[in-house]
A and B are shown apart, each in its own frame.
Chain A
């Protein structure tokens, strides 16, 4: 096991940020913590990177205890905090050299590991980090976190606020790093990124809702979701919510995801109801379940 978390809790004043979390991350796994802001992702990351002490529970990273062996952990993990945390007034090259020296290594030593990423930013190596675009900053931060060939890589919301293109590239880089044997724990508020992880933990308000592979989570979901569409989305939302047997109604991209309470639900009845309400260009069809659907259903049940 690369990361073992046992019953970890942490509260600030009276706010329970992390509530009795337990999970394991296997060696070489790409594990995702999926949840919105305030779910406790950052707190958990800080506990695992030895920056915070938990109130309760134990955890090990790469075999070391997060409290007792904090020094050992600090030299074998790579960490990319949520905020862009590099020196803006230093150039790409200077940032890399700095992080290399504090980890007692050189850029050349583990060049294999970062080569793919580094070649993309190398043409700008004399440029200061503050003047780089979001995507390039993120690549530089990843290079810095990898420079000492960490056993475990912690990435706290690396793709937040980054455009879809850079996000896609970033996940491709993570996949390649994983193939080189690095265990990766990554957090994200974007549910669509969940599918790119080996296993995920859905997390909300400090608690884990579900842990499994993304495919399993979707397969185990027992409700049928329908895509509904009409010309007037706002009216459609309203009418669906007033349908007597509705279980949940959520806007979802160009469609509305509708779930009915009854297993023997017949979509024709719904179609008639909506037609009566005057909806035009009506579409009703079975939808593919996504992680976001499961997440919403789980949080809805909790409330």
Chain B
């Protein structure tokens, strides 16, 4: 019965799938380079592969952040629960806390989408974790601070580094690879083959990176970080690879069942760039998300990376070609999503302190 609480995370994964799929194949589908059905099958398969192959690394990092913010039980807390025979209660509380975080993040995504504000699901989850921690974690404790502050710092740094990195990679790719490929073209048919192949490769890389990056956000809060030391399961999931894999499957289901509308909308708006730039932008996003994830150790926003990459591609034609106004609305999503989710989580933590405190 307790495993029903996993549904909150899976739902979050499903909604991530419905939204983030657009980042990998939106442009290709909207411009009819790739058929929608082909795109969703490629995304679903690659997201699952990415989550199983590379998701576990982020699981550990998210779990570390969640542990220091009192969302996931630390080894000491689990050890105490084992000694006092309270493991089933601890397991229930941990799963409930995870579900609360996902509900807060989910409400943020829903609310911001309802009012037509751009939103980042990944950022909302991290914001909710920090919001919960701000209520419960002892920020006067240097040990907590030494874990939390760098994590929060990293989180804020990705707001700049992620789009900046994507912009630089995209600029270099368009300037070098794009123009080199253009020189090699001899026929219109050859151009079409290049575009199709490029979008498929970019889509595969993009989907893989979503699997690596986002799967952790979906299920890491159900992961028992202390299991390797205690050997007793104090949360719903104990294997990091399977934890990430379940997240990947949830995202894949979102892609397969309800991604068309977002894919057409987002893809259409990104499609202002040329077809050649389009797939290079996705490759830049994928590289950035995976690199940033490895470098910073936390899942980053794929949407931030796409925006940065689009701007980078635009800059190859000069500063005047870039619509910097896009940053106003996107900036709102970057700052608004984690802030609102954090405030919600803080409020819920306050209201439920009698049970969790």
Q: Do A and B bind?
A: no
Interface residues of A (CB under 8 A from B): none
